[in-house]
Structure 1
Amino acid sequence: MTPTDLPDPKLLQLFDLLYDTRNVTRVAEQLGQSQPTISIWLGRLRKHLQDPLFIRTPGGMAPTPQADALIGPCREILESLRRFAAWEVAFDPLTALRRFRICMTDASHITLLPRLLAHLRAQAPGVKLEAARIDGNTERALESGEADLAIGYVPWLSGGIYQQQLYEQDWVCLANRQHPRIRARLGLKQYCAEGHVAIASGTGAQLLDQALVRNRIERVVVLELPGFLGLGAIIRSTDLITTLPRHIGETLAQANDLAVHACPIAVDGFAVRQHWHARYHHEAGNRWLRSQVTQLFGSTR
């Protein structure tokens, strides 16, 4: 591919905005162009990508499957261009116009993200935040700059990744405050007898599974959930119990008026850390973001 084969950045902006708005008139207004000009640009992009990209429907311009597949790469390119244009040795949070992408677990969406978002909006009003999953792609995303940070328990990250411990986690159990059989203390015998809600996801779930095997305990799992969504309401409205890392456990307990009990089996604790790639260790924006995370969550439970 020669440089002349590359799409004009303004066409990528058009694609991004049209994918969000599904409305040519609104895109024209946001780009400060006439509708005929936007139509010409869209035609060029369609020709370049050899796909209609958007089909006119009663509900607006609906994206084609090809458009759905390309919107992610398009936005990565635009974000890279924004960083290139705004590159500076220093980072001024008051004037910065930048999007930070942080990989985190769904537990962190509940425990960390609300506080982090509120803090960043106050300190850096032009900064936008995107939360992404921690998965097998996280290491590559940190290396490429597609992601700025990963926050959580991610022991499989390897060479080239810096890390900083934020806080340590142990394990607790949650139960309904009016549980018919559990009072002030949850003992091992009762833990084995009660019905449980198990969480299939979570980077620390393997530690709990290992502890159960080590102690030869087979829980009565009545319900298995893929994540923490709805867990608090389920525990509040049933006689089931659940075993969780302390931070997410105490957060759910406070939000749903649940009882927090010490876990009656020994489960290995773990440290929640923030991770970043060596390529961005000295980059001003990344350094600033890391400092904010440390300020908010460092050395807390």
Structure 2
Amino acid sequence: MTNLDIRDIELIDTLVRTNNISVTAELLGLSQPSVSIRIAKLRKHFADPLFVRTSEGMQPTPKITSLLPAIHAVINLFSEIEEGDVKFDPKTSSRVFRIGMTNTGQIVVIAKLKNALNMLAPNIRLEVVELTANSPMQLERGEIDIVMGFTKIMGPGFYQQKLFSEHYVCLVRSNHPRIKNSLSIEQFIKEDHVSVKSSGTAHWLLEKAIDDAGVTRKIALWVPSFLGLAEIVRTTDLLALAPIHLARILCRDKSVRSLDIPIQIPSYDVKQYWHERYHQESGNIWLRKIIANTMQNE
């Protein structure tokens, strides 16, 4: 290998983000052996291992880490050339848009958004990444296009747009032996709860409101996400607090129902965020518009 091309740059960038050769191959539309062969050639070109297998997947060496700013600059340049204001066409583009969001957002938003994209831009693909403390830096670098959720980590240099309002309700199994059609403050305090401690959510807002009300919940179980919450509530007597849009999905099969919380919990806004570097980029503008049109009627 005497020269690098954009496919090599994209491979390095994708493997840095995924830490997994199989996932990298799938995202790039390549076979796993092809990716492995390409990595071997890149290792020879740079005279460096580039990626080392660890307990947390394929981790980049310091050589790759030092090259990341240049790699991102090259990818952004090619993206601007290929998907510029004149050339970007959602009907023909096969661009991969990357969206940062919580697991709640994945349940509530992604299916609706993908269905909307399928009708308007059948070749557009999505990659969802977790909303973390690094998300602002990823937006600035162009590693992700949009962040969606309720977050306070965005500082100067970021735009935001409200998508919908959210508030918490209480989930309980439909055949709960003690709770029927409403939830009293006495029941709320007496019953055991499962608590979801998920980053990038309004969990802190919820806890503050409960503390301000002078109420102490009996937490019997803590979980890191909402992904298994429906099964927990469905098969136990535990109560769970969840955002209303998520609750509507979890209650669809009627084995779980939602009730008003007997204390005042503030509502909050779910927004989309993007960096000012990409405010005028036509692909980003288009995606923001689709997200807003899809979710603002919620």
Relative to the length of structure 2, the TM-score reads 0.82
SS of the equivalent of 1:163 reads strand
Out of 260, 263, 280, the position equivalent to 1:262 is: 260
Whether the aligned pair in 1 keeps the contact of 2:170 and 2:240 (CA below 8 Å) is: yes
Q: CA deviation at 1:204?
A: 0.3
CA RMSD of aligned residues (A): 2.9
1:83-98 → structure 2 map (5 Å cutoff): 83-90=79-86, 91-98=88-95
Quick check: 1:48 aligned with 2:45?
yes
1:59-138 → structure 2 map (5 Å cutoff): 64-65=53-54, 68-69=59-60, 79-80=75-76, 82-90=78-86, 91-138=88-135
Q: CA deviation at 1:133?
A: 1.5
Counterparts of 2:3 and 2:150, CA distance in 1: 40
SS of the equivalent of 2:60 reads helix
Q: CA deviation at 1:195?
A: 0.8
Q: Structure 1 unaligned runs (5+)? A: 28-37, 55-62
Deviation string, structure 1 residues 137-171 (Cα, Å, up to 9, x no partner): 11111122211111111123111111111111111
Amino acid at match of 2:128: A
Quick check: 1:175 aligned with 2:172?
yes
Change (3 A) 1:14 1:138: closer
Quick check: 1:240 aligned with 2:238?
yes
Deviation string, structure 1 residues 20-59 (Cα, Å, up to 9, x no partner): 23314xx6xxxxxxxxxx96x76642223334569xxxxx
Q: Tell me the number of residue pairs that the alignment of Structure 1 and Structure 2 aligns.
A: 275
Change (3 A) 1:191 1:124: same
Whether the aligned pair in 2 keeps the contact of 1:82 and 1:98 (CA below 8 Å) is: no
Out of 269, 272, 278, the position equivalent to 2:270 is: 272
Q: CA deviation at 1:68?
A: 3.7
Partner of 1:23: 33
Quick check: 1:9 aligned with 2:19?
no
Partner of 1:186: 183
% identical equivalent positions: 33
Change (3 A) 1:251 1:184: same
Q: CA deviation at 1:118?
A: 2.1
Q: CA deviation at 1:79?
A: 4.6
Q: CA deviation at 1:122?
A: 2.6
Whether the aligned pair in 1 keeps the contact of 2:133 and 2:153 (CA below 8 Å) is: no
Amino acid at match of 1:137: N
Partner of 1:293: 291
Out of 279, 284, 290, the position equivalent to 2:282 is: 284
Partner of 2:193: 196
Partner of 2:229: 231
Q: CA deviation at 1:11?
A: 4.0
Counterparts of 1:135 and 1:53, CA distance in 2: 25
Runs of 4+ deviating beyond 2 Å: 5-22, 41-44, 47-54, 63-82
Out of 163, 168, 174, the position equivalent to 1:166 is: 163
Counterparts of 2:180 and 2:40, CA distance in 1: 69
Partner of 1:222: 220
Q: CA deviation at 1:87?
A: 3.2
Counterparts of 1:205 and 1:52, CA distance in 2: 42
Partner of 2:28: none
Change (3 A) 1:149 1:12: closer
Between structure 1 and structure 2, the one with the greater Rg is 1
Whether the aligned pair in 1 keeps the contact of 2:72 and 2:141 (CA below 8 Å) is: no
Change (3 A) 1:255 1:77: farther
Counterparts of 2:60 and 2:252, CA distance in 1: 40
